[in-house]
Copies of this chain bind each other. A is one copy, B any other.
Amino acid sequence: MNAPTGRLDSQLTLPQPYLLFLGDTTEAGYAKTAFGLADWAADRCVGEWAIGGCTVTTGLSRLSPAEARAAGARSLVIGVANQGGIIGDSWVAVLVEAMEAGLDIVSGLHVRLTSIPALADAARRTGQRLIDVRTPPPSIPIGNGRKRSGKRLLTVGTDCALGKKYTALALHRAFAERGIDADFRATGQTGIMIAGGGMPMDAVVSDFEAGAAEMLSPDAPADHWDLIEGQGSIFNPAYAAVSLGLLHGSQPDVFVVCHDPTRTVILGMESFALPSIEEVIDLTIRLGSRTNPAIRCGGVSLNTSSYDADAAAALMAAEAARLGLPVADPIRGGAAFAALVENCLA
């Protein structure tokens, strides 16, 4: 991943490389952040660490905080969540030890690190930082709508939690493999940890939402691409404000619609039908053209994890024929994904 271009001082930036902390986790499902980092930022993770009882591993070397620091680590990332998003007493001792070894602490949990007295004390004593990736940077400007140089792609969706981050990361990797100058622009906590920076769009005060998105993808060379992680959905009755501010401020040239074909209603809101892919394309163009009249749909990213290979291929082919657009599952890759990448770049 390239270093972010410009206005870096105004964005969140995280000290890398990382030591991944797994706590005392026994369920892999609670370690999604650690697995995401091991998958997408392995070159910036020196190892993992845990405490007694942990049965989960990312496959990286086990290193104590001191060993990790000696290997170049600059921060310990809390790579697990537990129910309630809290930090147990048994974790606090490890986090203090990490600060004493010279590591900053990075967290995406709901609880603020600085609200835990033992951590705040240790930070003062050691001079290490406590970084909550849910906290937006100060001094976000009001949006101005000015057209910026360079090219931008935004992942959007028929709903939340169906592959917008993964799709943006996969497209970034594919662009880079083709030798294209590109940045992944993160808008959520896990994405920010992977990228080493970004903007927690859902935590920004609404008056500044579009301005925060403008700040996230600054002016760039004409052939540079920002691959921007989408959030929520313009059809989601709870989160559409986040999605529209991000769409306006990102002023994307291209968007990719992410969809889970097994989902029929909005997650957690059974009385709201999922919009169709066509509805998302149509409304995204209508709203997005306000800040970029040239906006177009590059294709569809389908989450086919509950289909076997043949059924997935048949579904993607049928959807591509129906929509007249490339349809691919980035996890499956292959010719379909290559076609999606090419159409985004066309």
In the complex, which residues of chain B have a beta carbon less than 8 angstroms from the beta carbon of A207?
202-203, 238-239, 242
Q: In residues 26-63 of chain A, which contact B (Cβ within 8 Å)? A: none
Knowing A203-B205, A205-B205, A290-B235 are in contact, say whether A210-B145 is a contact too (CB < 8 A).
Answer: no
When all copies of this chain in the complex are counted, the total is: 2
Q: In residues 162-206 of chain A, which contact B (Cβ within 8 Å)? A: 201-206
> Is the Cβ of B145 less than 8 Å from the Cβ of A271?
yes
Quick one: closest B residue to A211, CB to CB? B238
Number of interface residues of A (CB under 8 A): 36
In the complex, which residues of chain B have a beta carbon less than 8 angstroms from the beta carbon of A239?
143, 207, 210
> Which of the residues B145, B206, B283, B286 comes within 8 Å of A205, measured between beta carbons?
B206
CB distance from A181 to the nearest CB of B (A): 27
Bound CA–CA A237/B205 (angstroms): 15
Whether A272 sits at the interface, judged by CB under 8 Å, is: yes
> Which of the residues B142, B146, B235, B269 comes within 8 Å of A144, measured between beta carbons?
B269
Knowing A237-B290, A290-B237, A291-B237 are in contact, say whether A206-B242 is a contact too (CB < 8 A).
Answer: yes
In the complex, which residues of chain B have a beta carbon less than 8 angstroms from the beta carbon of A203?
205-207
Bound CA–CA A249/B206 (angstroms): 14
CB distance from A111 to the nearest CB of B (A): 16
Bound CA–CA A240/B204 (angstroms): 14
CB distance from A218 to the nearest CB of B (A): 16
Question: Can you give 27 contacting A-B residue pairs, CB < 8 Å?
Answer: A142-B238, A143-B237, A143-B238, A144-B269, A145-B237, A145-B238, A145-B266, A145-B272, A201-B206, A202-B205, A202-B207, A204-B206, A206-B241, A206-B242, A207-B238, A207-B239, A210-B237, A210-B238, A210-B239, A235-B290, A237-B290, A240-B245, A240-B248, A240-B287, A240-B290, A241-B241, A241-B248
